Structure 1
Amino acid sequence: MTSGTAIPPALPASREGTRYRVLGAISFSHFLNDMIQSLILAIYPMLKGEFALSFAQVGLITLTYQFTASLLQPLVGLYTDRHPKPYSLVFGMGATLSGLVVLSLAPSFGVVLLAAALVGTGSSVFHPESSRIARLASGGRPGLAQSIFQVGGNGGSAVGPLLAAAIVMPHGQGAIAWFALAALVAIIVLWQVGAWYQRQHLASGARARRKAAPMASPVSSRVVALGIGVLLVLIFSKYFYLASLTSYYTFYLITRFHLSAQAAQVYLFVFLFAVAAGTLLGGPIGDRIGRRQVIWLSILGVAPFTLVLPHVDLMWTGILTFVIGLILASAFPAILVFAQDLMPGKLGAVSGLFFGFAFGMGGIGAAVLGALADQRGIEFVYHLCAWLPLLGVLAVLLPDVGHEPRRLRAAAS
């Protein structure tokens, strides 16, 4: 079975072509969703000073948000595979909006954790369902569709620190409430996406499913288990390392190079911009040359740069983190579509599993690395994490499920 046959029959994407307006709407909503998330990460220095937090407590904020999303995403994906909910995205963004308001008013560390849990709940609904819609609107180009969807999120992650530096840091915690307007805009957009999903998926879905043959994996169940296991190890490598940068990069720059918090956030923006660019490239390249090759190169290929990073000056730190973000981020669209091709017909469950596991690894990584930074110092964290991308060598164990460009073009014709 080719990767094109993994597209659910509820939407005849190959005949209708790639729905760029739908992908654009989902990507824009992802931009707003992840901008809000990165805003929280970017104000960690302010929260640390406001509530006299240790690094371990800073990591606990990330763990609360990521762990909530990690636990719920697979469950949401599994449920919506069986019972599609076109307007569930609106509910998820409503939870994110509530989290922002709570965070802006939080009088204590415990309430900050509650706000993080609400934002995590919103993400748990948003990511698996949005990924499903991106696949349905792909027109037989799933790698491109996932990249368009995910580049919005990474773009939002890049912009968040700049907005934090310009708005929240000068005006204080209460200014966070202004970003509830972004969540409100996302709710309006997602309502329109939900209407499209209902028309295209639910109206014709039951009839199409009755006519379609059951979708089976192109490989045996044993090979599927091995492939999924390898992909999850690679997700661990990628997101544990990324946790060191997304949660603690500003502290690293402040500690080692004596930058101000606002100057450090500019460097964080540069890194997150590179992540966005890498995400956009990863999917289309995977459609063209094969997803195994992209996964192999993006995880293992970044290792030389991570190993050098702790030993260079400020200028090279900025350059290397840009290169690391660009290469490492190209993996996730390829990993997600590869997993969807291994388990066709279970888009929600697979998307929820991988987004949830990624969130979980990011959260656990932030908590573990924060505790380690308290004990051994923030620079030690970067020396240790530099070795994680070497796990990318395991990509050699991934099965061949037919990602050759010719077959992809045939599937989309």
Structure 2
Amino acid sequence: MRRRTSITLLSVGHACVDIYQGTVAALVPLFVAERAYTYAAVSGIVLAATLLSSIAQPVFGALTDRWAMPWLLPASTLLGGVGIALSGLSGNYTLTLLFVALSGIGVTAYHPESARIAREASEGSHTAMAYFSTGGNIGFALAPLMVAGIAALGGLSWTPLLVAPALAGTAMALPVLHALARRGNTTRENTTRAGRDDVTSFVRLTFAVVFRSIAFVGLGTFISLYAQHRMTGSAAAGTAALFLLYLGGVAGSLLGGSAANRWGRVTVSRWSYAVTVLAIAGVVWAPGPAMYLFVALASAGLYVPFSLQITLGQDYLPNRVGTASGITLGLAVSIGGLASPVIGVLADATSLRTALTPLILMPALSWLMFRTLRDPEASKRPLPAEQQEDPAPSSPVRVD
């Protein structure tokens, strides 16, 4: 199978999985409308999707570092879909949390192995990895549209229809697994990269990922409700804001991969986080429909570094690519859910605007982390001709 075909299939499969990460936030207004959940209660649902996955993410990464587990791609995709499909069927809050948590575990299990396989298939190309990440962004963007369709059909009782992307994603994974089996490329020896692990840099990168995650998940959880409040209670206004938040990531990921080829991953990420500080401030404080412009800018700004953080993590931990992928790709979304209940409780006590204001600080903290990082690829690039040292002059030849 050619590289382009493999990346395309992996990207589509990634979209089918990440639909379920986006669906959790998209279902929040339905839970509020149909079950009268408070902000804190719906934050608990987001927490259920992320808490176990945040714990399990490094575990799955470590397992994939030790053993090749390509079968996780179809199995985890199916689990992610089944959990969400069942989440709307019971009015029992505990069962809802359980089903959403099962979906979160499925999504968690998918990311470390899929990122390892995608990096291998991309042959180190930042652009190819950006396409893989963009697949997940497209999945996020489709989630609110799918949930809007469910709402139009009759609400939470129709969530079993949401299993359809999981079935499609499972089908997309099978040809990739078949190609891997034919090449015999399923052992650690073929995927372990030579090099020394830079744990210190990876820890700093992880903090940047955590701060980004808090900003992204916080916006994803409450932007729909916030837009409804700002736009006189219109449900369509909330769906549009969430769709825009996820869709902007498509442009951001592609832009990040292209820009990194020219200016380097660390430099591009640093500038992106600096711009995102202003963008999130606009989301929270800009008047009227201008909010939508800042939602798009914040989305792009948060996603420009997304695929770059994945490959940076893999380069910082070349001997533990699965662990690096699990943290930078999986925790980039999941760990932000741990902060969502705090935002929800603050919103119940004050207002959504007050609760969302601290998110402005998150990309600033990510920017500070990137100020301390260097790009491992920088030392491998040849210097421009004008900066290269002239060779030592040869000794003059004596002519008798």
Shift, 1:69, TM fit: 1.6
Amino acid at match of 1:25: L
Match of 2:144 among 149, 156, 161: 161
**Residues 335-383 of structure 1, C-alpha deviation per residue, up to 9 Å, x if partnerless?**
1111111111321111112234323422112222111111121010222
Query: Which segment drifts farther, 128-137 or 356-365?
Result: 356-365
Which piece of structure 1 moves more, 267-276 or 351-360? 351-360
Match of 2:232 in 1: 258
Post-superposition shift, 1:27? 0.7
1:384: how far off? 2.1
Aligned partner of 1:393 in structure 2 is 368
Alignment of 1:241-390 (within 5 A): 241-390=215-364
Number of residue pairs matched by the alignment: 382
Deviations 1:110-166 (A, max 9, x none): 11101111111111111111111110101231x222211111111111111122113
Paired letter, 2:72: S
Tell me, in whole angstroms, the C-alpha distance in 1 between the residues paired with 2:282 and 2:21.
Answer: 29
1:110 matched to 2:89: no
Name the CA distance, whole Å, in 2 between partners of 1:303 and 1:343: 29
Could you tell me how far apart the structure 1 residues matched to 2:337 and 2:282 are?
A: 25
The question of whether the paired residues in 1 share the 8 Å contact of 2:119 and 2:129 is answered with yes
Query: Shift of the alpha carbon at 1:39?
Result: 2.3
Structure-2 separation of matches of 1:30 and 1:207? 25
Q: 1:57 aligns with which of 33, 41, 46?
A: 41
**Contact 1:86–1:198, Cα closer than 8 Å, also in 2:** no
Matched residues in 2 for 1:267 and 1:290: separation?
A: 31
Give the equivalent residue in structure 1 for 2:397.
Answer: none
Larger radius of gyration: 2
1:101 pairs with 2:80? no
Q: Deviations over 1:256-302 (max 9, x none)?
A: 33231233101211221111210122123223321111121111222
**TM-score calculated relative to the size of structure 1:** 0.86
Are the structure 2 counterparts of residues 407 and 151 from structure 1 closer, same or farther at C-alpha, using a change threshold of 3 Å? farther
Mapped contact 2:86–2:159 kept (Cα < 8 A): no
Q: Which residue of 2 aligns with 1:403?
A: 378
Residues 208 and 323 of structure 1: is their aligned pair in 2 closer, same or farther, counting only changes over 3 Å? closer
**Residues 137 and 250, structure 2, Cα contact 8 Å, conserved in 1:** yes
Q: Cα distance, 1:28 vs. partner?
A: 0.4
1:28 to 7, 12, 23: 12
Structure 1 residues 114-125: aligned runs within 5 Å: 114-125=98-109
Within the candidate set 194, 197, 208, 2:177 is matched to 194
Decide whether aligned partners of structure 1 residues 119 and 359 sit closer, same or farther in structure 2, where only a CA change above 3 A counts.
same
Q: 1:75 aligns with which of 59, 70, 83?
A: 59
Q: Is the deviation greater in 255-264 or in 66-75?
A: 255-264
1:310-358 per-position Cα deviation (integer Å, ceiling 9, x unaligned) = 3222221001111111122111111111111111132111111223432
Residue equivalent to 1:236: 210
Alignment CA distance shift 1:303-1:174 (3 Å): same
SS in structure 1 of the partner of residue 91 of structure 2: coil
Worse overlay, 396-405 or 105-114 = 396-405
Partner of 1:180: 163
Letter paired with 2:178: A
Higher relative contact order (CA 8 A, sep 6+): 1
> Is the aligned partner of 1:215 residue 2:198?
no
Structure 1 308/189 Cα, relative in aligned 2: closer, same or farther at 3 Å?
closer
Question: Aligned Cα RMSD in Å?
Answer: 2.2
1:9 is matched with none
| DSSP 3-state at the match of 1:399 | coil
Distance 1:345 1:382, change over 3 A: same
Q: What's the secondary structure of 2:376's corresponding residue?
A: coil
Question: Unpaired segments of 5 or more residues in structure 1?
Answer: 1-15, 409-413
TM-score (structure 2 length as normaliser)? 0.89
- The residue that corresponds to 2:30 in the other structure is 46
Deviation at 1:306, TM superposition (A): 2.2
Q: Please list every run of 5 or more consecutive structure 2 residues that lacks an aligned counterpart in the other structure.
A: 384-400
State the AA in 1 paired with 2:22: S
TM superposition shift of 1:393 = 2.6
Q: Which amino acid aligns with 1:215?
A: A
- Matched residue type, 1:158: A
Name the CA shift for 1:42/1:400 in 2 (closer, same or farther; >3 Å): closer
- Residue 37 of structure 1 and its aligned partner are, at CA, apart by 2.7
Shift of the alpha carbon at 1:52? 2.2
Partner of 1:91: 75
One-letter code aligned to 1:254: Q
Cα distance in 2 between the residues matched to 1:109 and 1:206: 42
TM-superposed CA distance for 1:67, in Å, is 1.5
